[in-house]
Homo-oligomer: A and B are copies of this chain.
Amino acid sequence: MEQHKYNIIDIARLAQVSTATVSRVLHEKGGYSKETETRVRRVIAECGFQLNKNAQGLRTQKSRNIGVIVPDITNEFFARIIRYLELFFLKHQYSVLICDSHEDIEIEQLHIRNLKEQQVEGIIYISGRNANPIQESAFSIPIVYIDRKPEDVHIFVHSDNRQGGYLAARELIEKQCRSILFLRDQKKASTIRQRRSGYLEALEEAGIAFQESWEIMTKSDYASVFKTVTNLLMQKGCFFDGVFATNDNMALACLHALHAQHIQVPDQVKIVGFDNVSISQFCHPALTTITQNTELMAEAAGDALLKRIHHELDKQEFIIPVSLCVREST
């Protein structure tokens, strides 16, 4: 194959036209005859010409790049959103620059600096459960937030967490649970608050009085949850017959802790998780859980960002519906 990299001037020369015409053909702007078009296209194909995005971006002041900042790409839930985001923007001829912040403020700053240098036209900020206190002003670039409500006014999209909490609790109640733990991350986040209120709503609807002792706070990693649940069992026995955990990993740790104490799931205790990541389907018994629609979330965020870039949107909140996925743990 050709070693030399062709530019638009080479193409113009070879096709015996001006660079303007080549550019017009390239972008299907019209204003050229059928013959010139075919001639130009043929030369482009023959040379394997590729547009130089740097030059284009410099000239047009539009990079067609957008940045995505995520706390941990290794987390399946985030990875899924990113996947759909990429697909969405590919369709719209934008490139996506993915930045894993490792929940480290310095790395995040480095990434943001880089995104600005890359002239991104917009940023999607996925904060997830572990919201960092980032600076939001001082930003002339449009930002769409996923999963986290920023302090000042902005665009953000998130699941219908309240509904999720409600569906989870209702499922447990329908399966005859009367003492339902709310096993949650100790961090305070709007997502958790919303899930809690849905859970409370379902309890109330069923005429079940919420007990303070049902709300179990813990660090959200597997080992911590396992220990918390085990301690609970040791100290107070199995005084509950249902658990709503605020994510699948916590639900799984809870499941194993119960199992280790010879408590049967779902016979003695039923469990509902949140997220519907693959682990919930491949554990034993498979977890009933709340599905967050990552595809819809990504599309809503992408749409919103594009609109924002084109000044067709100022501020808005997008709430993505969730659904109950019943498996073996209830």
Contact = CB atoms under 8 A, between A and B. Distances in A.
A282 to B, nearest CB: 5
Given A58-B55, A119-B53, A1 B138 contact: yes
A259 interface: yes
A80 B54 CA distance: 30
Nearest to A93: B114
A282 B253 contact: yes
Interface string A79-110: 11011001100100001111110100001001
Contact of A86 (B90, B99, B283): B99
A134 B98 CA distance: 24
Interface in A220-260: 222, 249, 252-253, 256, 259
A211 interface: no
Interface in A186-214: none
A48 B253 CA distance: 47
A113 interface: yes
How many copies of this kind of chain does the complex include? 2
Contacts of A314: none
B86 A100 contact: yes
B119 A222 contact: no
Contact of A74 (B5, B53, B76, B118): B76
Interface residues of A, number: 55
A189 to B, nearest CB: 22
Contacts of A82: 73, 100
Contact of A279 (B80, B113, B282): B282
Contacts of A249: 282
A73 B83 contact: yes
A52 interface: yes
Interface string A266-279: 00000000000001
Interface centre among A52, A110, A137 (most CB of B within 10 A): A52
Interface of A: 1, 3, 5, 48, 50-55, 57-58, 63, 72-74, 76, 79-80, 82-83, 86-87, 90, 95-100, 102, 107, 110-111, 113-114, 116-119, 137-140, 222, 249, 252-253, 256, 259, 279, 281-284
Given A3-B140, A90-B110, 6 more contacts: A53-B118, A54-B63, A73-B82, A74-B83, A76-B76, A90-B111
21 contacts: A1-B139, A3-B140, A5-B140, A50-B113, A50-B117, A51-B117, A54-B63, A72-B83, A73-B83, A74-B80, A86-B99, A90-B110, A95-B97, A95-B114, A95-B118, A97-B97, A222-B282, A252-B282, A256-B282, A279-B282, A284-B284
